[in-house]
Chain A
Amino acid sequence: MGDHHHGPAKGLSRWLFTTNHKDIGTMYLWFSFAMFLLGGTFAMIIRAELFQPGMQLVEPAFFNQMTTLHGLVMVFGAIMPSFVGLANWLIPMMIGAPDMALPRLNNWSFWILPPAFLLLASTLFMEGGAPAAGWTFYAPLSTTYAGPSVTIFIFCIHILGVSSIMGSINIIATVMNMRAPGMSYMKMPLFVWTWLITAFLLVAVMPVLAGAVTMMLMDVHFGTSFFSAAGGGDPVLFQHIFWFFGHPEVYIIILPAFGVVSQIIPAFSRKPLFGYDSMVYATAAIAFLSFIVWAHHMYTVGMPVAGELFFMYATMLIAVPTGVKVFNWITTMWRGALTFETPMLFCIGFLVLFTIGGFTGLMLSIAPADFQYHDSYFVVAHFHYVMVAGAVFSMTAAVYFWLPKWCGKMYNETMGKTHFWISFIAFNVTFFPQHFVGLAGMPRRIPDYSLQFADFNMMSSIGAFVYGASQLLFLYNVIATIVAGKPVSDDKVWDGAEGLEWTVATPAPYHTFEVPPKIDPAHAHF
């Protein structure tokens, strides 16, 4: 048994060759935070240019590269890998498994990510610049009219698609095969449930994205005409394929966030999650519906009325399972013994702001009204409410919540709360005015705007700078905690926290659950 309980290897090779789910989770989290700062830098350039009307700082072509890279880096580099990192750290500990099912695959799916994003970032220095067709890279803008960087971009998408698919396969294989005896599906923590469903979505739609970029590659280099009207193809086909991937993709981003919130709110309400079963079914329902609503992103392409109506009703239907979730979280808090530590604050912020984003989503789902909102700043405001206040807030909550378990030290609560309030206020200052300029007709992805939008844009930019700066406070708090935080000795860091991850020692040992834990058959769910 001697060398069975070995600790981590020393030096750089520990991180390069590690197959430990905790190490890999940590690397995913740091990588995604680095990407968050990179994507944030692009956002700061966008907001600096839009601080005042007229052309101020950057060339329009460079502005387009910034909006494109901001979207790509945030979606594929920051949000998605951050939740994969969280899954790596937590899923084995939550289901009582010693590690992920396929540890070497796990190492590989992380290590192909940094080169992919290095390549993508390198296109900034290419002749013709980085991709500039928007993060949705509609053809023919991304094919006929693209610069030479499009080929590298396609290669990057392929690599990170492979990485996502391998990560998802690992998660599914772990959840299906490695649960501790007695941990039935309907006892799994909701974070595990939402990730299981997310992983299935990823396996289903990342290959579709790979197909779309492969067709682009063939159109650009091999003379096919999938998206070129001249050769009998159709640019609208690109939009259908892209959004067939793209709509499930937005749920891929938000479902793990739902899972995080479903773990944290009960802990600080000191009550079990209300409506566990309905949460599971609602998650599955959202995942199913995500496959039949894609064309609500393209109401204005000239669909038949029957198509518009179908996609409109199907989209509105999503509000039902999502509403179930929101009401369940509120009911969990109802008459709970609430305390408002930083993770809880971020979850409540999530709840309020995500619901606002959900409502604007409902407005956008109305096909006749969407003709006005389409491609305006209203859409930008909508998806930042669900992406930033939804995914990023919940991810931040998760870091504050589990960080003491990971490193055995407590973060600075005052600094955490300060981070929350600055983020919350600055986020709203940034994005709430964008609803107004959008409704008044300001188009997205344009480096200049009409004078009437000047005041709101200046507000937006100031909010964005403050929001960006507040993330540095977060970074400082995390590093200060790891280096010199107050040690925590309780296994159960938070008195209301439930779940197997709180039964192991603090900080979590390098190897956990080498012997499966005993699960009390009377325990309802985790």
Chain B
Amino acid sequence: MLRVSRNPAVDTALKLVATAVLMFSFVFVVMVPLYNVLCDALGINGKTSGQAYTAAPAGIDESREITVQFIARNNDGMPWAFNPGDRMLRVHPGAATSTVFHARNPLPKAMVAQAIPSVSPSRAAEYFHKTECFCFNQQPLDGASTAEMPLQFIVDRDLPRDIKTITLSYTLFDVTDMASDAVAAR
């Protein structure tokens, strides 16, 4: 038994202080990463992976077609015009498909945006793979100019058969204030 003080109550107290410190760090080093890992792994909240999908193609499932819907919306106070190029596509699982989103910055100043994706139903999130996406990076745009932002995706062949429609929604955030200098300089 570790003894620091002649008073056993002080020993008890020190152990409890250590417990409290441990619980404080638990929030940062366990809860936050664990939450993010779980959300990514299980597609909770419709979160999709933040990285490009690189697995080898496993062939196209011609037997069924999935409807993929695209939604673009702005977060509170974001002035850009932001729209999907295609409102809806019908795709075979396993087939790589491309589409674009249109963005226009109506203000005279350069801004930086970040799009946050969400897939519905959230069960489908882990089967929706993006091989290329504008949402992987912050998107700078000069004042009064437009951009076409590409998206390439594959719906996994293992998508549960009861899912016929997947909705991919992007919310665009104004991150000009917090954008890294590297992006701003580009």
Chain B hits for A229, CB < 8 A? 75, 116, 171, 173
Known: A173-B9, A174-B9, A303-B44. A210 touches B19 (CB 8 A): no
- The distance in angstroms between the C-alpha atoms of A234 and B28, with both chains bound, is 14
The answer to whether B116 and A211 touch across the interface, beta carbons within 8 angstroms, is no
Contact assessment for B13 and A240 in the assembled complex, using a CB-CB cutoff below 8 Å: no
Q: Are B12 and A172 in contact (CB under 8 A)?
A: yes
A231 to B27, CA, bound (A): 19
A241 to B173, Cβ gap below 8 A?
A: no
Q: How far is the CA of A205 from the CA of B75 in the complex (A)?
A: 33
Chain B 45-88 residues near chain A, CB threshold 8 A: 45-47, 50, 75
B178 beta carbon closer than 8 Å to chain A = yes
Q: Is the beta-carbon distance between A236 and B45 smaller than 8 angstroms?
A: yes
Contact with B along A178-195 (1 / 0, CB 8 A): 100000000000000000
Contact bitstring A232-243, B, C-beta under 8 A = 1, else 0: 101011001100
**Residues A96-118 near B (CB distance < 8 A):** 101-102, 105
- Distance to closest chain B CB from A253 (angstroms): 19
A432–B173 Cα distance when bound, in Å, is 44
Q: Are A237 and B122 in contact (CB under 8 A)?
A: no
Q: Which residue of B lies closest to A168 (CB)?
A: B16
The list of the 10 closest CB pairs from A to B, nearest first, reads A211-B27, A230-B173, A101-B9, A207-B24, A207-B23, A173-B9, A173-B12, A177-B9, A169-B16, A173-B13
B12 adjacent to A237 (CB under 8 Å): no
CA distance A4 to B16 in the complex (A): 31
- Cβ of B182 within 8 Å of any chain A Cβ, yes or no, is no
Residues of B within 8 A of A425 (CB): none
Size bracket, chain B contacts: 35 or more
List residues of chain B with CB within 8 A of the CB of A223.
Answer: 178
Chain A min CB distance to B152 (Å) = 21
Collect the chain B residues with CB atoms within 8 Å of residue A301's CB: 45
30 residue pairs bridging A and B, Cβ less than 8 Å apart: A101-B7, A102-B10, A102-B13, A105-B13, A165-B20, A169-B17, A176-B12, A177-B9, A203-B19, A204-B23, A207-B20, A207-B22, A208-B26, A208-B27, A208-B31, A211-B28, A215-B27, A223-B178, A225-B178, A230-B114, A230-B116, A230-B174, A234-B36, A236-B45, A237-B35, A241-B31, A244-B31, A301-B45, A302-B45, A302-B46
Partner of B16, one of A203, A231, A240: A203
Closest chain-A Cβ to B33's Cβ sits at a distance in Å of 11
A172 to B11, CA, bound (A): 11
Task: Give the chain B neighbours of A240 by CB distance below 8 A.
Answer: 31, 35
Chain A residues with CB under 8 Å of B100's CB are: none
Chain B residues with Cβ under 8 A from A170's Cβ?
13
Number of A interface residues at 8 Å Cβ cutoff, please give it. 41
Residue of A nearest to B177 (CB): A223
Closest to A162 in B: B20
Least CB separation from A145: chain B residue: B76
Complex Cα–Cα for A177 and B3 (A) = 14
A171 to B, closest residue via Cβ: B16
Known: A169-B13, A176-B12. A230 touches B23 (CB 8 A): no
With a cutoff of 8 Å between Cβ atoms, the chain A residues found around residue B160 in the complex are none
CB of B21 closer than 8 Å to a CB of A: yes
Which residue of chain A has its CB nearest to the CB of B122? A302
Taking CB atoms and an 8 Å cut-off, the chain A residues in 274-330 that contact chain B are 301-304, 307
Contact indicator B13/A304 (Cβ below 8 Å)? no
CB distance from A487 to the nearest CB of B (A): 36
- Give the shortest distance, in Å, between A145 (CB) and chain B (any CB): 9
If A230-B75, A230-B178, A237-B35 touch, whether A208 touches B23 (CB-CB below 8 Å) is yes
Tell me the interface secondary structure of chain B in the complex.
helix
In the complex, B149 has a CB within 8 A of chain A: no
How many A-B pairs fall under 8 Å by CB?
104
When chains A and B are docked, how far (Å) is the Cα of A169 from the Cα of B23?
Answer: 14
Chain A residues near B44 (CB-CB < 8 A): 302-304, 307
Q: Specify which chain A residues have a CB less than 8 angstroms from the CB of B12 in the assembled complex.
A: 101, 169, 172-173, 176-177
**In the complex, which residues of chain A have a beta carbon less than 8 angstroms from the beta carbon of B75?**
229-230
| Pair A234/B35 contact, Cβ less than 8 Å | yes
**Residues of chain B lying within 8 A (CB to CB) of residue A168:** 16
Please tell me if the beta carbons of A241 and B171 are within 8 angstroms of each other in the complex.
no
Additional A-B contacts beyond A206-B20, A212-B27 (6; CB < 8 A): A102-B9, A165-B20, A177-B9, A203-B20, A207-B24, A215-B28
A residues in contact with B17, CB < 8 Å:
169
The yes or no answer to A226 lying at the interface (CB within 8 A) is: yes
Q: Does B185 contact A (CB under 8 A)?
A: no
Is B133 located at the chain interface by the 8 A CB criterion?
no
Q: Does B178 contact A211, Cβ atoms closer than 8 Å?
A: no
| CB-based nearest A residue for B116 | A229
Min CB distance B144 to A, Å, is 23
Give the chain A neighbours of B39 by CB distance below 8 A.
234
Q: Bound complex: CA of A236 vs CA of B16, how far in Å?
A: 30
Is A232's CB under 8 angstroms from B28's CB?
no
| Complex: chain B residue closest to A211, CB-CB | B27
B-chain residues with CB within 8 Å of residue A105 when the two chains form the complex: 13
Assembled-state Cα–Cα distance A204/B47 (Å): 30
Chain A residues near B178 (CB-CB < 8 A)? 223, 225, 230-231
How far is it, in angstroms, between the C-alpha of A73 and the C-alpha of B132 when the chains are bound? 51
Tell me how far the C-beta of A21 lies from the nearest C-beta in chain B, rounded to whole angstroms.
13
Q: Is the CB of B16 within 8 A of A173?
A: yes
- What distance in Å separates the Cβ of A341 from its nearest Cβ neighbour in chain B? 37
- List, in ascending order, chain B residues with CB within 8 A of A211's CB: 23-24, 26-28, 31
Looking across the interface, which residue of chain B has its beta carbon closest to that of A208? Answer: B27
Does B8 sit at the interface, judged by CB under 8 A?
yes
Residues of B within 8 A of A208 (CB): 23-24, 26-27, 31
B10 CB to nearest A CB, Å: 7
Interchain CA distance A172-B17 in the complex, whole Å: 12
Question: In the complex the two chains form, what is the Cα distance from A203 to B27 in whole Å?
Answer: 14
Q: How far is the CA of A102 from the CA of B8 in the complex (A)?
A: 11
Q: Look across to chain B and name the residue whose beta carbon is closest to the beta carbon of A229.
A: B116
A237, B13: Cβ atoms closer than 8 Å: no
Q: Determine whether B175 belongs to the interface, using a CB cutoff of 8 Å to chain A.
A: yes
Task: State the CA gap A429–B10 with chains docked (Å).
Answer: 49
Question: Is B32 in the interface zone, CB < 8 Å from A?
Answer: yes
Smallest beta-carbon distance B26→chain A, Å: 7
> Which B residues are in CB contact (< 8 Å) with A212?
27
Contact A231 B175 (CB under 8 A): yes
The smallest beta-carbon distance between A268 and chain B, in angstroms, is 35
Interface core residue of B22, B36, B44, B75 (most chain A CB under 10 Å): B44
Residues from chain A with Cβ under 8 Å of B10 in the complex: 102, 173
